[in-house]
């Protein structure tokens, strides 16, 4: 399952989420695509200070802090659709 990790440079919450996400992603076999919102004016306008954000298929899973339960629920829902 592919997860998008929206972040910005020098963001301590983004760094915290990235560290917390790494072992969970390894456990669940997730592919994480990190996207710096400052590289895209539309993303910067959309998210602003609302980072970090994890999303899948355009749906936000969690923001600011890693919600492990929400990530697990999103993975389970994706598997159920197969």
pLDDT digits (tens, 9 = 90+) for 18-66: 999 999 999 999 999 999 999 999 999 999 999 999 999 999 999 999 9
Structural domains in the chain (count): 1
**In which domain, by residue range, is 70 found?**
2-81
pLDDT digits (tens, 9 = 90+) for 45-55: 999 999 999 99
- What phi and psi values does residue 35 have, to the nearest 5 degrees? -125, 120
Give 82's pLDDT tier (boundaries 50, 70, 90). Answer: confident
* pTM listed for this prediction: 0.94
DSSP 20-72: HHHHHHHHHT-EEEEEEGGG-HHHHHHHTT---EEEETTEEEEESS--HHHHH
Q: CATH number for the domain including 38?
A: 3.40.30.10
Chain centroid offset of residue 8 CA: 12
């Amino acid at each position: 399952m592919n997860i998008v990790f929206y972040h910005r440079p020098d963001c301590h919450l983004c760094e915290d989420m990235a560290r917390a996400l790494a072992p969970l992603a390894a456990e669940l076999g997730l592919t994480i695509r990190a996207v710096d919102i400052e590289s895209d004016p539309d993303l910067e306008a959309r998210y602003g200070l609302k980072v970090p954000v994890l999303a899948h298929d355009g749906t936000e899973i969690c923001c600011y802090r890693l919600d492990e339960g929400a990530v697990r629920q999103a993975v389970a829902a994706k598997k159920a659709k197969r």
